[in-house]
Amino acid sequence: MTDPRPEKIASPAESSHPDRRESSTRIEQSQWRRPAGVAAGTWRYVQQGSIANHYDAFVAETPLCALDQTFLRQVFESIDSGRQTAGSTEGEVGRTDQKVFSDRDNWVLDLGCGTGRAATELSRLGRNVLAIDLSQSMLNHVIGRARSASAESQGDQTGSIVPLRANLVQLDCLADNSAAGAVCLFSTLGMIQGRENRRKVLRHASRIVRPGGKLLLHVHNRYASLAQSGGTRLLAKSLLKSIISRDHEFGDATYAYRGLPDMFLHRYSRRELIADLKSSGWQINHIHRLSLDGSATIDRSSANRPNIAGGYLMQAVIRSQ
């Protein structure tokens, strides 16, 4: 039986009361949560359009940008498009979990694509790129790059670039075995807060990339701080904080960045990175140690003393099922 009494309608005096309005606003704010793995500073970063507008000019002189482009070309110039399984006969491909791609279906995920620096290079190699980022402002620049690349293209060598706004921790929308490879460059993985969240990114990538598919990943080295003034103290502080606080992990750091007071970055140890990749289904092919300024790869040691790596470029593949 329905209640015949009319619903109570707030009087103008009640509805306009500032305390009631503020209380309602506080309730709405308390129910809102940042996306998984996104720190407060990172959220402000993705919402600030001015950062995206000047991003290319800001990183133009960064040596790492030239180095990772070189590795992109080396790793993704050719992509394995599937092999016959043992026991299959000529003209008959054996049953396998691997998805066979044509040249035009060799999609590569650009995880944390920014303004499309890596995506553009991959498209020049003829790879179709799914450019994924949480910042719509960054993706707007990706769209502009894609249009320019398409206009400049002669013939059908240039691959497509498709933007997707998504949180890298939450990529359930993408199907298994639907890509031939993935890149995650410029320490994007380190911008994810929480080790389990970073592992989720790697597991999503290993699920979406088909067996035999490739990954090119860059992270910063935690111990590069030892080459800087006061670096030992900062490392000790981070270690102590990781012991006494559940919200901090050894290697976490916040720093001022382009007007933001608390940009988040997790710096990896080599052991941590290897463990996370292996636990996520990736088989490591190469670990490239980078110089402190990111301009070149370096040997593990020199004649007199060990060289401290500024970061790592990892090449990995999905283990066959």
162 with 139: CB under 8 angstroms?
no
What was the pLDDT predicted at 300?
67
64 with 203: CB under 8 angstroms?
no
Q: How far apart are CA 217 and CA 154, in angstroms?
A: 30
pLDDT tens, position by position, 60-78: 899 999 999 999 999 998 7
Query: And the tokens for 93?
Result: 């491909």
Tell me the pairing of strands 252-257 and 260-266: antiparallel
Q: How far apart are CA 10 and CA 85, in angstroms?
A: 72
Residue type, 116: G
Domains in the chain, start-ordered, CATH in brackets?
Answer: 35-79+102-223+252-318 (3.40.50.150)
In the predicted model, what is the mean pLDDT of the chain? 84
Classify residue 56 by burial, with Cβ atoms within 10 Å: 0-12, 13-18, 19+: middle
200 with 246: CB under 8 angstroms?
no
What was the pLDDT predicted at 269?
97
pLDDT tens, position by position, 257-316: 999 999 999 999 999 999 999 999 999 999 999 999 999 999 765 555 568 999 999 999
Phi, psi at 285, each rounded to 5°: -95, -45
Q: How far apart are CA 281 and CA 12, in angstroms?
A: 61
- Expressed in angstroms, the distance from the first to the final Cα of the chain is 60
Q: How far apart are CA 245 and CA 55, in angstroms?
A: 34
pLDDT band at 81 (very low <50, low <70, confident <90, very high): very low
pTM of the shown model? 0.83
Within 10 A of 14 (CB to CB), how many other CB atoms are there? 10
Residue where the block lists tokens 């598919």: 213
- Residue with the larger pLDDT of the pair 207 and 102: 207
pLDDT band at 132 (very low <50, low <70, confident <90, very high): very high
pLDDT tens, position by position, 150-196: 777 766 678 999 999 999 999 999 999 999 999 999 999 999 999 99
What was the pLDDT predicted at 32?
77
What was the pLDDT predicted at 77?
87
230 with 200: CB under 8 angstroms?
no
Which residues contact residue 261 at a Cβ distance below 8 angstroms, ignoring those fewer than 6 apart?
41
C-alpha angle 106-111-117 in degrees, rounded to nearest 5: 85
Q: What is the mean pLDDT of residues 216-236?
A: 96
Tell me the pairing of strands 311-318 and 282-290: antiparallel
